[in-house]
């Protein structure tokens, strides 16, 4: 019998809740600074950046566990990260989109002022709800 080599899955099953909560808490810092090196380790930043590649289904279990305020802060974090940090461009895969889809499905959308504020901080046309098609 011949064994066939299969590459390991390089993407995690989903984001780490502890680090996600830390990212949400850092959204205000990211508004003030253009990098997060003083707040997060290189490994944590790399992990958080890699989560941009994850699907909505992979994000959903973590989004469900977050408090309402943390969800909004995390959406703000990923929206700002895409604009301010190198290599964080996500387009229609931005985790903020997954958060807003969840909020819309569960009838927990924030006030329109927050959505306007979020949209004013990005040039990503997919924020907050993703592609129309």
Structure confidence at residue 10 (pLDDT): 54
Q: Give this prediction's pTM.
A: 0.86
**What average pLDDT does the segment 116-130 reach?**
92
> Between these two residues, 34 and 115, which has the higher pLDDT value?
115
Nearest in space to 81 (alpha carbons), one of 132, 39, 18: 39
Using 50, 70 and 90 to split pLDDT, how confident is the model at 6?
low
Q: Is 3 contained in some domain?
A: no
Q: Is 103 contained in some domain?
A: yes
- 85-108 pLDDT, tens digit each: 889 999 999 999 999 999 999 999
11 has pLDDT over 50 = no
Q: Is 91 contained in some domain?
A: yes
Q: Is 12 contained in some domain?
A: no
State the Cα–Cα distance between residues 29 and 34, nearest whole angstrom: 9
Q: Is 125 contained in some domain?
A: no
Tally of domains within the chain: 1
Q: Which residue has the tokens 């969800």?
A: 71
What is the extent of the structural domain holding 74?
A: 17-120
Structure confidence at residue 35 (pLDDT): 80
Q: Is 127 contained in some domain?
A: no
Q: Is 126 contained in some domain?
A: no
Q: What is the mean pLDDT of the chain?
A: 89
Contact present, 99 and 51 (Cβ < 8 Å): no
- Report the range of poorest mean pLDDT among 32-41, 47-56, 105-114: 32-41
Q: Cα dihedral sign for 119, 89, 28, 128?
A: positive
What's the burial of 101, exposed, middle or buried (CB within 10 Å: 0-12/13-18/19+)? middle
Q: Is 116 contained in some domain?
A: yes
Structure confidence at residue 2 (pLDDT): 62
State the Cα–Cα distance between residues 75 and 32, nearest whole angstrom: 16
Residue 104 has φ and ψ, to the nearest 5°, of -65, -45
> Could you tell me how many residues make up the chain?
133
């Amino acid at each position: 019998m011949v064994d066939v080599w299969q590459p390991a899955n390089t993407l995690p099953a989903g984001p780490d809740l502890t680090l996600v909560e830390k990212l949400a808490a850092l959204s205000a810092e990211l508004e003030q600074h253009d990098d997060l090196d003083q707040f997060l380790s290189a490994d944590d930043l790399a992990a958080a950046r890699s989560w941009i590649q994850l699907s909505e289904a992979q994000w959903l279990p973590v989004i469900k566990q977050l408090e309402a305020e943390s969800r909004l802060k995390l959406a703000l974090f990923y929206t700002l990260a895409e604009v301010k940090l190198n290599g964080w461009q996500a387009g229609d895969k931005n985790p903020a989109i997954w958060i807003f889809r969840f909020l819309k499905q569960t009838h927990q959308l924030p006030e329109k002022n927050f959505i306007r504020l979020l949209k004013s901080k990005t040039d990503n046309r997919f924020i907050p709800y993703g592609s129309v098609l």
